[in-house]
Every structure is written in C-alpha cells, then in structure tokens.
Homo-oligomer: A and B are copies of this chain.
Amino acid sequence: MDAFFNPSGIALVGASAREGRSGYRILRNLVTGFEGAIYPVNPRSSEIGGLRCYPSVTEVPDPVDLAIVLVPAAAVPAVIRDCVKRGIKAAIIESGGFAESGPQGRALQAELVEIHRDSGIRIWGPNCMGLVDARRKHAFSFVMERIWDNGMMDGDVSLVVQSGFLAAGFLVDIMSHGELGIAKACSIGNKVDVDESDLLEYLIGDADTRAIGMYLESIGDGRRFIDLCCASRKPIVVIKGGKSEIGAKAAMSHTASMAGNGALVSDLLAQAGVVEASDFHQMMDMCQALAAVGEYGGSGGVGRRVAILTPSGGAGIVSTDFVDAVGLELAQLSGPCREKLESIYPSWMPVANPVDIWPAVELNGPGAYLSAFRALCEDPGVDAVLFHFLGLGMFGGSIAPLAEIASASGKVVFCWTIGTAEVVARVRKEAREYRIPLFRELSRAAECMAAVLKSAPPVTGSVGAEPAVMTPSEPVELASDLPAMLATGSLVLDEYDSKRVLACYGVPVVEERLVSSPEEAAEAVNELGSPIVLKGLAPGEVHKTERGLLRLDVSDEGQAKQHYVDLTGAMQGGGRVLAQKQLRGSAEFIAGMLRDDQFGAVLMFGLGGLMAELLEDRVFALASIDEEGALRMLARLKTQKLLDGFRGAQGVDRRALARILCGLARLAVENPRVREIDLNPLIICEGRPFAVDATIVIGEDC
C-alpha cells in the first residue's frame, strides 16, 4: 500500500494541457504538492506545463512506482498492462465507465480483475477520486483545482468513501467548508482490488490519523473488516449505505430470515467497537470529536457520567433530555464540587446538575463561571463536562479561559455554542486549537458525546471489542448416527435429531421421546406427565403448526392414541411422532445461528412469540464468542428487562442463556456444513431455558 501513499515517482496517464479538463486539474494538484518525480503521459503532447510528456507509460524513466490513470474506460486495460510491463507496482484508476455503467463497463472491469490476479499489480478504483493527503499536500485526485486554496484544513481525521459521485461531492464539501481537519481522504470506487479493509489496515497504522470515518455501501470480506476493527485502538465511525442482502436468500430458519435489513451488520459493528453514523456531516462531527479526545484508556478509561454547565436553565433542561436519550448519565456531583458551587451560588439556590451558573455570575461576576468549571473538571465523579457558551460578552467572546482549565485538568470536555457569527467563528478556531469538540446543535453534541463516552471501554482493554476466543472444553460425543447427518450434502434435521445434536453441545431440551404406536403414545402421557404435546415430524417440514402436525394439551390415553393415528395419517406414513412434556413458560425467546456470506458464522438471540416480530428485538454477534461475550450480547437486547424478572415475572439465568449461545457457536465451528440453527421457542421455565422446538439445516456448501 505504501506505493499509493508514498510513491517515489508518479506517471499521470491522461495528463492534459487544457484548463478545465480533469487531466489538467490533477497535474496542477501534483505539481503543487508532490515533491517526487512527475511524468505526464499523453501521446499527443511532448510537454505539458513545463514537464516532459511521454507517449506511453512504458517509456517513463525511473523512479516511478505509481500510475494515476484518467483515460476513457475502453483504453484503461491496455494502460494497466503497460504499467505491469514497465514494472509499476500500483495504479489509481480514476476513470469511470466500468461496473457502474452497464454490461460493457462490467466486462472492462472483469478484465482489470484478471490483470490484477495475473500480475499482482495493486489497483485502486476504478470510478474513484483517488486520495488526498492533507499533511503532505498530496492530492492524487482530479476532484478540485487548487485544492489548498479552498479552505482545506489538515487535521487528524482520515476518511474512506465508497460511491464515486457522492465521494466527490462529500470530499469537496469537507475540503472547502473548513469544518473538518483531514489527514487522508480516500475514495475507493469500484474496488477491483484495494478495498475498505486494505485502507482501514493502512490507516490504523498511519501516524497522522487519530480517527477514521468510512462511508461504505458494501463490505467485501466482512470477517477481516470486523477483526481489524476489533484490533484497532483508533476510533472508527462507519455509515453503512445500503442493506445486507442476506434476507433475500431463501432462508429456512427464522434466524436467517431475521438477519436482513441491516440489523446483523449494525450489531457486528457495535460488537467490534465501531461507532455507527447515519448521515454524512454527523459522521464528520463524530470523527472530529473522537479525534480530539484521542485514544481511549490513556487515563484509565472514560465513563458515562456527564456534568452540564450552562448560563441558561432552559438549555440545561434540553441538554438533559438529549443526554438521557443517547444513553449517558447525569453525574452526581461529589462533596468538594458541591461545596465549591455552594460557595459561589446565591443562598436561595440549590446545587444541582445541570449547573445553572447565571445567578452565581450575577452575584460574583464571570469568575464564578470559571470556578464552577474548574470544580466540575476536578470532580472524580464527573467523566465529561458539556459547557454552554452563549457568547454574549462573557470572557470577551472567547473560550480560552475555559479551555485552559480543561487542558490542565485532562478532563474530557465538550462545548455547545450559539451567538453571533463572529463569536462562533472565533470559538470554533479556539476549540480546534485546544482540541475541544464544538457543536452548534445540542442533539449533535449529545450524539458525539455518546460516540466518545459509550464506545470507550469501562476501564481498560481494547476499544469496545469483544474477545474472539472460544471457551475450550471436552470433545463433544455424538450418537453414532449423527456425525454422518451433520456432514451430509443437504438436509433439514427433524426436531428430534436436531435436539439430540443440540443436547450434545449443552443445550437443555424439553423432555421427550419418539413413540411408534398408539399404545406408546398413551404410555407417554403417564411417563412424561399430563398434559403432553404430540408432534408429527414429516421429513423436511419445519412448519408443523401450519401443516396441522402439532397437538397441544394431550391429557389422557384415549386422546393420545387418537392423535397418534391422526398424525401418522396426515404424514402418509412418511414421518415419525414425537411425544413431549408440555412446558408452561414465563417467557419465550428465540436463539439461532446462521452463516453469512460476508461475516461467516453469526449467532442470533431475540424475543420470542407474538412480540418477536412486532418489536423486532434481536441481537447478533460473531459466533467466535465466549461466555462473557455472550452475556454482553444479551445485554444489547432492548427488552432485556424481561431477563431480570420484570414486574413480578420470574427472571432468567443469563449464564444459562450464554452457555446455550456458546454451544451453538461451538456446534457451528466444529460442523462446517451446519448452515442454520433455530431454537424456536426457547421457553423459560422456573428461570431456566429449554429448547422446545429446534431445527438444524445442513447446507451443500457453507
């Protein structure tokens, strides 16, 4: 990758002397900032802008390790072949007209994939804006002429943006509005070779980058991407444009059908400590806040307790609502801090958080604002301070006196400001210098505070990442007929066999037995205890209720015999009959496993029964999980109050649920042909979970 970011010499194929052309803009940008060798390539010129121009990339002299290609799509494959011939290691193809524009373009793109595979040349693009390195003033991009005159600021946020046209607009917007300081901005386009994971890996190791923002429409190797995120100590913010396609495939299990609509990707990103953004400027603001605060854990981790300092009771109230809405807490002020505030407050005013400081300022002057701010910064019960600066003359419209206090204390501090355009511009400049995240909207301030404080680990450890370690345990012993089934080509195990497998992996299942005559069915009523359930297990059939193969409340021998006869009749002799103790549960859940094309084996846990689909409350995690990871997965369930014995209902043994999830994970790892697992429902009976129905789907090729 270094050939892209630190080339010794660049061949610009498609250089142009005509103003307004992309090939002209990029040459100007190169000449302005790049200090290595620059070789324009254009067969129709011998010299452009004072530089010697070469008819073909094959004739370019040393040193050259990067080609930037801007010729019409049809000519690109030949140019890349020439690059290979010339020994150029890397090429950025900025031309469009490939997979994004119809069948002809797709064929050209396939040709590029082939050249890359055969030769090993690294290809970035096509259909992209290349890269900008604001520190080195490298603009390997046609995106804007005189990019450095347009408000572009260097900084420590690096960006990776997919989507050709949007990338252009987005980067131009950022570069010219002077709101975000950039380290490196990368537009990746159609991803013939270099993809989001390659760039993420590079940027994680890049000394100039403190936070990474990404707009992605697809993630190629999802597992590699998640592993990189887990290992990163730099904060990563992602906007996912476009949804997971998994729901579209014919899904046998509830688990697989629930994985659609992006929930799976969101959960896996959260599991890896990634902050998810939904909008472009929001992503920028989050990156800037995260970069300002820097690597987590430097001073032993950041908590979620926020103090609010405001000259306006009203803004304090609105802030409190937002702090609550994003899942942060209002700090309980500690004794010394309260005492300090009491000493500057008027006597009629009680101390509280938000700290409404105006009456104290009226009594004691602006120094009261500084004293209160210092007390909050020094309060060990406060993890972060949000101060409001209304810029109405206090401190001469400058936050410098406050910023000095914040710097000295090392506390994480955020600022919300409104005021005249002049004051806001000055405060913005000061905030950048002092690395204080600054916001003009309270809602955005709260979102970014949550991004900083919630993605930080509570005490130590890597950034929010779950350890990807399986608990080692004894080898699983399966009954002799099961291994062959689990290795078969394509099969849906029936409920009985599914549960026999699951039981071996430690999943508690309801008490049950096969019955093979009306008499055995009758006996089962006595042996399992009335009432029982009788189920017809027809081969390949997972919808028993809809097929009329489920008989509940079977409470005497006569009923049992009759149902047996009916069920075997309904299955036309093709299945078998299962007798089961009928459990009355206090709550109903669903658990499962599916294999995702991008991310591999993934676990699912959710609310069951009628509420399941109404609330869509389900969580996903990579199947490489241990018991603690499974507990954290459960803790992400929205309705998790139900697990704790909500409103008089009995609680659930969370560790028992976590062990079930670990069992599913192990089953998935040890049996690569198991494609889907469904425990539906998982019923809670006296606080313990039991799989009441279950399905294992074996796939052709996982």
Contacts and interface: CB of A to CB of B under 8 A. Distances in A.
Interface of A: 96, 100-103, 144, 150-151, 162-166, 168-170, 172-173, 176-178, 215, 217, 239, 241-242, 278-282, 311-315, 317-318, 321-322, 346-349, 358-359, 362, 390-392, 418-422, 424, 440-443, 610-611, 613-615, 639, 641-642, 646-647, 649
A21 to B, nearest CB: 12
Given A102-B346, A169-B312, 20 more contacts: A96-B362, A100-B313, A102-B349, A150-B421, A163-B313, A165-B312, A166-B312, A166-B315, A172-B391, A176-B420, A176-B421, A177-B421, A280-B418, A280-B442, A281-B440, A281-B441, A282-B441, A610-B642, A613-B646, A614-B647
Nearest to A362: B101
Contacts of A346: 101-102
Nearest to A169: B390
**Which 10 A-B residue pairs are closest in the complex by CB-CB distance?**
A163-B314, A169-B390, A173-B418, A102-B348, A166-B312, A176-B420, A165-B312, A279-B443, A166-B314, A169-B418
Given A176-B421, A313-B163, A646 B610 contact: yes
26 contacts: A100-B313, A100-B359, A102-B348, A163-B314, A163-B315, A164-B312, A166-B314, A169-B390, A169-B391, A169-B418, A172-B391, A172-B392, A173-B420, A176-B420, A178-B421, A242-B317, A279-B322, A279-B443, A280-B441, A610-B642, A610-B646, A610-B649, A613-B646, A613-B647, A614-B642, A615-B615
Contacts of A101: 346, 359, 362
A176 B422 contact: yes
B241 A314 contact: yes
Nearest to A175: B420
Contacts of A358: 165
Nearest to A178: B421
Nearest to A321: B278
A22 to B, nearest CB: 11
| Most B C-beta atoms less than 10 A away, residue of A165, A358, A422, A611 | A165
Contacts of A321: 278
Given A102-B359, A346-B101, A279 B318 contact: yes
Nearest to A97: B362
A103 B348 contact: yes
A322 B239 CA distance: 13
Contact of A610 (B162, B422, B647): B647
B314 A217 contact: yes
B390 A168 contact: yes
A568 to B, nearest CB: 26
Given A441-B280, A441-B281, A443-B282, A150 B420 contact: yes
Contacts of A359: 100-102
Nearest to A163: B314
Contact of A443 (B163, B176, B278): B278
Nearest to A143: B392
Contacts of A420: 144, 150, 172-173, 176
Contacts of A239: 318
A250 to B, nearest CB: 21
Contacts of A349: 102
User: What number of copies of this chain does the assembly contain?
Assistant: 2
Contacts of A362: 96, 101
Contacts of A103: 348
A186 to B, nearest CB: 15
Given A102-B349, A281-B440, A442-B280, A169 B318 contact: no
Contact of A421 (B151, B318, B441, B641): B151
A315 B362 CA distance: 49
| Most B C-beta atoms less than 10 A away, residue of A169, A172, A647 | A169
Given A173-B419, A391-B169, A163 B647 contact: no
Contacts of A176: 419-422
A197 B476 CA distance: 73
A609 to B, nearest CB: 9
Contacts of A318: 239, 241, 278-280
Nearest to A314: B163
Contacts of A278: 318, 321-322, 443
Contacts of A96: 362
Given A102-B348, A349-B102, A442-B279, A419 B172 contact: yes
A100 B614 CA distance: 47
Contacts of A281: 440-441
A441 B241 CA distance: 15
A358 to B, nearest CB: 6
Contacts of A178: 421
Nearest to A421: B176
A452 to B, nearest CB: 19
Given A169-B418, A419-B169, A421-B176, A217 B279 contact: no
Contacts of A242: 314, 317
A100 B358 CA distance: 10
Contact of A392 (B168, B241, B279): B168
Contacts of A166: 312, 314-315, 390
A510 to B, nearest CB: 22
A288 to B, nearest CB: 15
A314 B168 CA distance: 12
Contacts of A615: 615, 639
Contacts of A162: 314
Nearest to A150: B420
A28 B111 CA distance: 73
A558 to B, nearest CB: 22
A564 B657 CA distance: 43
A681 to B, nearest CB: 13
Given A103-B348, A418-B170, A421-B151, A165 B390 contact: yes
A615 B443 CA distance: 24
A410 to B, nearest CB: 29
Contacts of A392: 165, 168-169, 172
A277 to B, nearest CB: 10
A278 B278 CA distance: 18
Given A318-B241, A420-B172, A421-B176, A312 B163 contact: yes
A441 B614 contact: no
Contacts of A165: 311-315, 358, 390, 392
Nearest to A390: B169
A337 to B, nearest CB: 22
Nearest to A639: B614
